[in-house]
Structures are given as C-alpha cells and as structure tokens.
C-alpha cells in the first residue's frame, strides 16, 4: 500500500473541534509517534485512520482510495492494538489465535497461530490459559492477534501501558521489525523517551491542531521537541 494522506481533516462533535484542519502524510516503512495532552485529538485521529470514525471535513486518501472506499474495501489491511488486551482469558494463547484466524476467514489457523506465537515470544506459553498470563504476555498476544491477517497498517494506542522495562524493550524491537518489513505504524504514547530510537517521525497535537510533524533526528530529544510544540 502507498501512503496515507490527510488534507485539512477536521472532526467536530457538536460545536467542539476534536481535530481542526490536520494535514500530514504517513509512509509505509515508517513508525510515527503521535503525542499530545489528554484531549488533544490523538484517539480521534487514530479512529479516522482505522476507518472507525469519518472526518467531518477534509480528505483522507489511503493510496488511491478515499476514506469511504477504503472503509468498505480496505479495512482488512488495518491492525489495531490498544492498552486493552482484546483476547479471551479462558482460552489458551494458541486457542485465541486459532479462533481469531477463523473469524478473519484465514486458512490454516494452526500454522498462523504457531508463526505469530513464535514471533511475539510466546511459544512456551502457547497452551497456557491467558488468565495466567502476565500483563506483558497479554499485550504480546494482542499484537499477534492484530497481525494474523498481515495488515499493511498497524495502529497502536498506548500498547505498552503496564509493561515493565523488559516488556517495553521486547515490544519496541518487534515494532521496529514490523516497520522494517514495510508496514506503516502509528503509535500513541505518553512515554516520550520510548520514541527515541524507535520513531521515524513525530506528530504533535494540541487542542485538535497539528503543531508539529517531522522526522525524528538521531540525536533529537523528543521531550524537548514536544515541549516546544505542545
């Protein structure tokens, strides 16, 4: 898939602008860190990218498709991970992935489950009930669920909430692998230091407006950039 382009995108709820004339372009093979205070519009923007919420004004293009067309024909190209682990605790890790593979209409769910359990480091825990998983293990399983159908776009809403330092490092390494495979990643986080060495680009929202969008330089202090534009 080619880039995602937003041109003067606004989202209005009543008389309140959740987003106001946001323009940016997201490229495959990049990870964009999306930051801002609570209420800045981050989740609203992610919902628009996920085709869960339609813009009130402006244009969104997913490659050659507009928002409406992509919502109808391209949603299968999107993977979603939030701080909520959207998996079933009474099932094992393997059973969860096989279940979702069936729900997605994917063939050979057992092979897909094995592949992604290995990639997220859960092979040894594959046949353990998810209720017995740690927070970090549940997040890794949630990521595997989101990747079963090989999405080109991966949207991440605070995916590292509750993870310890080792868990964050493991997730960061996996995100970088996925980016290097050519996927387009957008990550919401309040942990600015986590974006250093991980994000290629930084987008800062303030009260619904995009105040900064640009590359993250190798020696850049993301927290300082955020302070200037937030």
In a domain? residue 165: yes
In a domain? residue 130: no
Q: What is the CATH number of the domain that holds 224?
A: 3.40.50.300
In a domain? residue 194: yes
The domain containing residue 182 runs over which residues?
4-86+142-229
In a domain? residue 186: yes
In a domain? residue 98: no
In a domain? residue 117: no
Q: Would you tell me how many other CB atoms lie within 10 Å of the CB of residue 219?
A: 6
In a domain? residue 135: no
Q: Residue 166 has what pLDDT? A: 85
Q: Residue 1 has what pLDDT? A: 67
In a domain? residue 183: yes
pLDDT digits (tens), the chain, 230 positions: 689 999 999 999 999 999 999 999 999 999 999 999 999 999 999 999 999 999 999 999 999 999 999 999 999 999 999 877 789 999 999 999 999 999 999 989 999 999 999 999 999 999 999 999 988 899 899 999 999 999 999 999 998 877 888 888 888 999 999 999 999 999 999 889 889 889 999 999 999 999 999 999 877 888 888 888 87
Dist. CA 129–CA 109, nearest whole Å: 18
Q: Residue 194 has what pLDDT? A: 86
Q: How many domains, the chain? A: 1
Q: What is the pTM of this model?
A: 0.92
Residue among 56, 51, 53 nearest 15 (CA): 56
């Amino acid at each position: 898939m080619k880039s995602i382009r937003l041109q003067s995108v606004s989202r209005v709820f009543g008389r309140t602008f959740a987003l106001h004339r946001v323009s940016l372009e997201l490229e495959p093979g990049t990870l964009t860190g999306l930051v801002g205070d609570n209420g800045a519009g981050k989740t609203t923007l992610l919902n628009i990218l996920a085709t869960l919420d339609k813009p009130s004004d402006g244009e969104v293009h997913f490659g050659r498709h507009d928002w409406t067309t992509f919502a109808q024909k391209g949603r299968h190209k999107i993977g979603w991970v939030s701080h909520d682990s959207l998996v079933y605790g009474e099932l094992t890790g393997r059973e969860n992935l096989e279940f979702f593979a069936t729900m997605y209409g994917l063939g050979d769910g057992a092979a897909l489950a094995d592949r992604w359990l290995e990639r997220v480091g859960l092979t040894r825990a594959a046949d353990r009930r998810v209720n017995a998983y740690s927070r970090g293990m549940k997040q890794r399983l949630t990521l595997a669920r989101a990747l079963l159908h090989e999405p080109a776009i991966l949207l991440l809403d605070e995916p590292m909430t509750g993870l310890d330092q080792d868990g964050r490092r493991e997730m960061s390494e996996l995100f970088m692998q996925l980016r290097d495979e050519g996927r387009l990643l957008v990550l919401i986080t309040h942990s600015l230091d986590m974006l250093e060495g991980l994000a290629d680009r930084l987008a800062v929202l303030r009260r619904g407006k995009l105040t900064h969008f640009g590359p993250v330089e190798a020696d850049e202090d993301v927290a300082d950039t955020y302070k200037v534009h937030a």
